[in-house]
Structure 1
Amino acid sequence: MEELAIFSRLIKKHKYTLIIIPIFTIIITFFLVRNLPDSYISQAQISTGIVDETQQTTFLTNSDSQKANQVTQEFSNLIEIMKMKKILDQVSYLLIIHDLTAEKPFRELSSTISKLSAGERKTIIETFKTKYAKTEGLNLWDKKQIELYDLLRSMNYDTDELKGKLRVYRQGDSDFINIEFDSESPELSAFVVNNLSQEFINYYTQLVKANQKNATTFLGKLVQEKKEAMDKKIDSLRSYKIRNRVLNLQEQSSQLYAQILVYTDRIQQVKEGIASKSGALNEIDRKFSPKERSYLESTLTKVNQGIIGTKQDLKALHDLYIESGFDPKYQESIDSLKGILSGQINRYTDQYIYNPLVSKQELIQQKLNLDIQLDMSRYSLGLIERQLDYLNEQFDKLVPHEAVVQSMERDVDVTSREYLDILQKFNQSNMEYGLSIKLKLVQTAMPGLAQPSKKMLLVILSGIISFVFCVFVIFVLYYIDNSVKSPKILANKTESEVLGYVNALNNSVIDLKEIWTRSNLNPEETEFRNHIRSIRFELDKEVKDKTIVITSVNRSEGKTLLALNLAFAWNMTNKKVLLIDSNFSHGDITEKIKPAAYLEDYLTGKVGNEVFKGQPLEVLGNYGDDTSLLEIAAENQIKQKIEALKGVFDIIIIETVELTKLNQATEWLLFSSNVIGVFEADRNISEAKKQYTDYLNGLGTQFKGWVLNKLPKEYISKV
């Protein structure tokens, strides 16, 4: 808080500076800006179609929403393209061509252009038109084109000048880009904005269309390459299948496997039938006696010979049935033929088989039928097993082809997907190429009204800025100022106690007698006297041996004035005071008071205590020979003399030489245990002074503290 108070007092001290400089700045600024031309801003608006769903093409947009940062990046790219030198150069050419050809140019022709002849102007116009038509920039390595650039600069139509007054930005989160230009002419502003917008749209359209055309051409070639690769893979697969008779490998293998399962089941069924029929025949045979079996076998031989043709036909049908994979259409023929065979068996048994087996006629018929069925089953089993082996052999042949076909089909699938992917991109690129660019100039710039004048704002800002600058300068001065401005700062810098401070007096001549005897003093003098009294009070508590040595770091810091005033202050308390001027280099007390007795005479014994006339305030001067105390008398003799003076006076005040003459100042410290230092306010404690303040601190309790002298009035109010 103290630092803030000091800074505020410093501001107050320089208040006239803070008033005069801003006023002076305001006056100068006013005269500088009063003739500035008015400002006109024209604005155009371009719709981009980036976030406007009404301009989006459904089949060309992604299903996912575009990310915000992607949209922002697209807008940034468009804005930067609009600020490109290539685009601004086109506008510069149009401006210079207009001013060179129009009856009313936007700006008064510069002196450089005015000096040109009609022929030179015509050549320049044609050159700029050619540059514009070819969308070429100026080559600044070419001396002639540098002259053209200088013409643009002379009219403030160069790229840098245009860019400085151009503002391009996105309108919030909308789909629109705003283009603004500020100039001294409403027609010029509108011309720049409209032509810049149109040049940007034309350039961007050409750029996009060229890229789309290149992309479409490239994708078209790529589609053809992918199609040829796909067709090649398909032809290879087809040729392999035809060559190896595996047109539909999966279906073929499935059919073979199904047939294998069917034949396997049939084998199992036939084997079960053979077992059951064999068991039935064995049971029938056990029912005949050996004699009956002998007769029966001879009879059955004759029957079998009679039905052998039918059995052959039945075997042939079974072969067809098995080879067809058990086609149901053969089952009816087999059943019919079995009926015929059964009829033949009955007829032959009736013809050949008679006594003695008439009673077992039915068993004989069963045996004949079972024999035929068993014979047919055994024959069928062999045929089915051969057919199953054939199917397994065919199935095994398909396995190697399966791996090759799968690999080739996988290659076909990959090339097909690549082809379809590229084809989709080609179609999309082709469609985009056929669509119009989404950039549209939705708002054409018109000559606008003059903008509110900024002249007054500039004047006010100049005053504010100059005021702030002055405050900043004062703050810098305050910040780098290490001078002592308060007792607290002195205590912090010296790390010692401060007994008090004395305010500065503006009087050219100070009458101490009036200050200490008169009652009607001015406020400064009254305050001065009160501060001396405060210091006297502090010293009364500290001083025990009646002697006080007053010193300072440098000369003219006010120790003489302090010594005189302390002498008067103690004298006012009815104490007998002796003031000794021991400053042999500059005896200011001796010079001012002209004492009757001198220190040298008293210490050498030339005079004694009788020299004092019994006055409450006595003074011992010096002859000013730039000597030292111990050169005048021996240490013991000086101590005796000081003790003698203590018997006469209540307080002895000794002013010594400044500490820069340390050898002279320290001699008095041998004879007094009370030392006070005087420090003048508004002075720095440099490194050189620091050694003396450290010396006083090293005295310990012998050093009683500092008195801050000559403190300015502006620093006292907050102390």
Structure 2
Amino acid sequence: MDLVYVFRVLYERKFILIASAIIAAAAAYFFTRNEKKFYRSTAQLSTGYTINDDIQVGGKETSLYEADTKFNNDIITFTSPSVTTLLSYQLILHDLQSKHPFTELSEAQKKSPVYTSMNKDSAIQIFKDKLETMTLLTSYRPDEKKMIEFLKLYGYDYKFVQRSLSVYRLQRTDYIQIDYISQNPELSSFAVNTIFSEFIRYYKYVRSTKSNEAIDTLRSLMEKKRQELSIKTGTYINEAGVDPTIESTSKLEVIANLENMLADEKKRLTTLNANLEKVMRRINDLKPEGNTSISTGDNMELLTLRKQRDDTYAEYVRTGSTNQALYQQYLDLKSKIQKAALQGSGGSTRLPASTTRLDLMDQKADAEIDIQTSQKNISEIEKRIASLKGGVRSSASQSATAESLTKEVEQANKEYLEAKQKYNDAIDINSSSVNNFRQILFGQPALDPEPSKRKLIVGMAGIAAFLTVMLVIIILTYLDSSIKTPRQFNKEVNLKLISTINFMNLQGYTMQDIITNKIHTKNKSHKSDHNAFRASLRKLRFEIEQSGKQVFLFASTKKAQGKTTIIQALSFSLALSKKKILIIDTNFCNNDLTMQLQANPVLERTNVQNEPGAIMDELEKNATVSSDGYVYVIGSEGGDYTPEEILSQQNVLNYLDFLKTKFDYIFLEGPPLNDFSDSKELSQYVEGVIAVFSADISLAQIDKQSIDFFRSLDNKFYGAVLNKVELKSINTA
């Protein structure tokens, strides 16, 4: 595609482009005249993922990759239906229960079936239940499907909330920002603050559900290791009390072992006291979250069970830790305490926090029992050492057994401490994973609305319309099969182009006056067209003179291509060079040459004798001669017939070779090839065929067939003339 031509086409249609942009911008301005105002509210929270000031559980530090993953997980959770639906419940409950709702329904909305069929009290109860249980509405149930439609009526369905909500991490910080945009500034503020609390509640519930399973497993493992330690400790004490070889082999060695055990047990007691202090500090530091659902009666029951458990365990230790019935009773009481604690917090929406407090209380009770056990063991070992120093009776084999039991007790104690440490770490992680979230910026109602996008919309509409129309023009130009310029002619027609004639308005002028430059006009445009027209004809005249041919047929593919005008103009131009021209109007279907030059219509009746003198006499008698005496015209009557059908054997066309000696050039005009076969019949009488094309046409398939005929003439086809070309197209071609 010729870019220069495309730019020229766009320039010619600049007013269309400008008008389309103005209309589109005006339409956008009209449709956005009632643009709604939106208000943004922002909240921020700290996650603690990238802050190293706090004590890390287990001495581990979170990597940046892990922190990014956690940030992404939190953002996905924030915008998930599980959390946004909880915000939807809060918004609809506010509007149903408050005297100043965020959203005021129109009268049409209040008359809708969704609104009229809804029972307000029932809807409030359903939404409260769903909020408490953190469950989603399902469209499979008819009553809940109505609730979904009711939320959509208010614009509180989770999809709408997700579109209004924006949650993202502030780059290279520990903060997550929450934005909410709505038409009510108070709604936006309420939404960003409420969704944080709902996120925390949902996050705690999910984490506690998963971690409690692991904590229960670790608790069972710890109890198992504690039971094994108690059994092995009791066995060791009993076996060491009847060792028969101690006295005979080495009393000091046995006493040294017992003293080592005493030292280890005292260290263990110190560790247990430290753990108890740690648990007490955590209980004191733990802030209550929400209302616990455990009643005063439940507390009394728990206290009673705990006292029974402690008494049973003390009796078990006092009797030497060998009474399995007492130990089983102790385990049963402990199980009852756990069940009672879970039942007491069953209806609370703050289950994770309550569970954490109960776990800490259990740790406290367990630590106290361990301390009592350790103190009892220390007392027993001290008594045993005192007894051994007074006199010990044992054998060598019993000494070896005591040493083996000592190692077993040490291993059991080590396993118990490891299990207890894992259990405590799990409790720490469970509580710290939620407690790290802190809301550092609370959303406030915006004073000013968001910047209006009206100007942007209007501008984009104008630009889009401008570019769209321009693209349409370019596509149409690309698909255009017209031959408006010489470049397009060569591309579409691919015939030898010998001349380009510019378009000129001939109204009010004669061709002879234009060629002889006898017209005086003050119109610069007309004057420029006339000058260019004469210059183009001079070029065509030069091509004719250089051709070496005298007899030419001017043909075209369709009518109104300008053959008549070109023949007249070329003839008068040649006459200025003192050339003698004979014009024969052989266009029987449209004898414009005869009409315009006022020639005698005698061609069909001419019957020439085969004598030179007779031919010229007949020509002189019937031809019309111009005022300058150089242009002769033989006209035709015109009709629905071809040359072979109407002309006799002695017609003037059969004597063109003789006439060439009397005239410098002989021009014939033929009918359009698309409609008639006359031009094909006339081509046998001439030396050269010139095709005339108008620049304002588009080529069809039938035109291409006629063009193929021109190509089939080979050397007889002299070239094509592109007529009616815009002057600017000639200058830029």
Please give the per-residue CA displacement for 1:503-559, whole angstroms capped at 9, x wherever unaligned. 2224445521221231535222322222222222222222x1311111111112222
Whether 1:84 aligns to 2:74 is: no
Kept in 2: contact 1:112–1:151 (CA 8 A)? no
Query: Distance in 2 between the 1:695 and 1:107 partners?
Result: 79
Residue 442 of structure 1: which of 440, 459, 470 is its match?
A: 440
Q: 1:573 aligns with which of 552, 570, 577?
A: 577
Residue 119 to residue 663, structure 1, CA distance change in 2 (3 Å): closer
Contact 1:60/1:428, CA 8 A, preserved across alignment: no
Which residue, 636, 646, 650 being the options, matches 2:664?
650
Change (3 A) 1:158 1:648: same
Cα deviation for residue 179 of structure 1 reads 1.2
Q: Which structure 2 residues correspond to residues 350-361 of structure 1 after superposition, within 5 A?
A: none
Using the alignment, how far apart are the partners of 1:57 and 1:5 within structure 2? Answer: 72
Instruction: Quote the residue 1:21 is aligned against.
Output: 20
- Could you say what secondary structure the match of 1:46 adopts? strand
Q: Tell me if structure 2 keeps the 8 A contact 1:183–1:189.
A: yes
Listed one character per residue, the Cα deviations across residues 204-234 of structure 1 (whole Å, up to 9, x for unaligned) are 1221222111223345557889999999xxx
**Any residues of structure 2 matched to 1:388-399 within 5 Å, and which?**
none
Equivalent residue number for residue 515 of structure 1: 514
Q: Determine the structure 1 residue equivalent to 2:204.
A: 205
Is 1:527 aligned to residue 532 of structure 2? Answer: yes
Q: Aligned AA for 2:432? A: L
C-alpha change, 1:574 and 1:162, in structure 2 (3 Å) is same
Cα distance change on mapping 1:147 and 1:117 into 2, 3 Å: closer
Residue of structure 2 equivalent to 1:689: 703
* 1:4 maps to amino acid: L
CA contact (8 A) 2:484 2:696 kept: yes
Q: Secondary structure at the match of 2:172?
A: coil
Q: Distance in 1 between matches of 2:519 and 2:100?
A: 88
Structure 1 length as normaliser, TM-score? 0.67
1:94 aligned onto 2:94: no
| 2:294 paired residue number | none
1:536 paired residue number:
541
| 1:608 paired to 2:615 | yes
Cα 1:590–1:87, aligned 2, differ >3 Å: closer, same or farther? same
Q: Is the 8 A contact 1:545 1:672 kept in 2?
A: no
**Distance in 1 separating the partners of 2:608 and 2:645:** 11
| Partner secondary structure for residue 648 of structure 1 | coil
Match of 2:430 in 1: 433
Consecutive unaligned residues of structure 1, counting only runs of 5 or more, are 232-414
Residue ranges of structure 2 left out of the alignment (5+ in a row)? 231-411
Cα deviation code 1:553-598 (max 9, x no counterpart) = 1112222221221112111221111111111222221232231263
Q: After superposition, where does 1:21-60 map in structure 2 within 5 Å?
A: 21-55=20-54, 57=56, 59=58
Secondary structure of the equivalent of 2:668?
strand
Q: 1:119 to 1:540 in 2, by over 3 A?
A: closer
SS in 2 for 1:98: helix
For 2:163, the equivalent position in structure 1 comes to 164
> Does the 8 Å CA contact 1:679/1:706 hold for their aligned counterparts?
yes
Instruction: Answer whether contact 2:600 2:636 (CA < 8 A) is retained.
Output: no
Q: What SS does the corresponding residue of 2:160 show, helix, strand or coil?
A: helix
Distance 1:56 1:162, change over 3 A: farther
Report the CA distance shift for 1:215/1:584 in structure 2 as closer, same or farther (over 3 A): same
Distance 1:221 1:50 in 2: 31
Residue deviations 1:442-482 (CA, integer Å, cap 9, x gap): 22111123222222222222222222222222222223222
For 1:700 and 1:228, how far apart are their aligned partners in 2? 116
Quote the Cα distance in structure 1 between the aligned partners of 2:455 and 2:58: 57
CA gap 1:507/1:92 in 2 versus in 1, 3 angstroms:
farther
Which residue is 1:334 aligned to?
none
Q: CA deviation at 1:608?
A: 2.7
SS where residue 442 of structure 1 aligns?
Answer: strand
SS at match of 1:647: coil
Q: Deviations over 1:57-99 (max 9, x none)?
A: 152525xx7364x544332222111111121111111111112
Determine whether 1:583 maps to 2:598: no
Which amino acid in the other structure matches residue 146 of structure 1?
A: K
Checking the alignment, whether the CA contact within 8 Å between 1:603 and 1:632 is kept in structure 2 is: no
Q: 2:484 and 2:429 mapped to 1: Cα distance?
A: 80
Amino acid at match of 2:442: T
Q: 1:93 to 1:608 in 2, by over 3 A?
A: same
Report the secondary structure of 1:485's partner residue: coil
- 1:158-205 CA-to-partner distances (Å, cap 9, x unmatched) read 112121122121212322221111112211111111111221122112
Aligned counterparts of 2:651 and 2:419: Cα–Cα separation in 1: 121
Question: Which residue identity is paired with 1:469?
Answer: T
3-state SS, counterpart of residue 54 of structure 1: coil
Whether the aligned pair in 2 keeps the contact of 1:483 and 1:683 (CA below 8 Å) is yes
1:135 equivalent to 2:155? Answer no
Structure 1 counterpart of 2:452: 453
Q: What is the rounded CA distance, in whole Å, between the counterparts of 1:124 and 1:580 in structure 2?
A: 99
Look up the equivalent residue of 1:608 and give its one-letter code: I
For the residue of structure 2 that corresponds to 1:660, the secondary structure is: coil
Name the aligned partner's letter for residue 439 of structure 2.
L
Q: Is the 8 A contact 1:553 1:658 kept in 2?
A: yes
Per-residue deviation, residues 367-419 of structure 1 (Å, max 9, x unmatched): xxxxxxxxxxxxxxxxxxxxxxxxxxxxxxxxxxxxxxxxxxxxxxxx99999
1:679 equivalenced with 2:693 (yes/no): yes
Pick aligned residue for 2:562 from 536, 558, 564 = 558
Q: Supply the distance in 1 between the matched residues of 2:413 and 2:534 (Cα, whole angstroms).
A: 112
TM-aligned CA distance change 1:128 to 1:617, over 3 Å:
same
Q: Which residue number corresponds to residue 498 of structure 2?
A: 499
Is the 2:500–2:536 contact (alpha carbons within 8 Å) kept by the matching residues of 1? yes
Structure 2 counterpart of 1:80, one-letter code: I
Quick one: structure 1 residues 173 and 695, their matched pair in 2 at CA, closer, same or farther if it must change by over 3 Å? farther
Asked if 1:75 corresponds to 2:71, the answer is: yes
Equivalent of 1:595, from 586, 596, 599?
599
Q: Take 2:145 and 2:477, find their aligned partners in 1: how far apart are those partners?
A: 53
Does residue 625 of structure 2 align to residue 626 of structure 1?
A: no
* Structure with bigger gyration radius: 1
Q: Match for 2:176: what amino acid?
A: I
User: Equivalent residue of 1:502, what SS?
Assistant: strand
Distance 2:643 2:110 in 1: 92
Q: Give the 3-state SS of the residue equivalent to 1:657 in structure 2.
A: strand
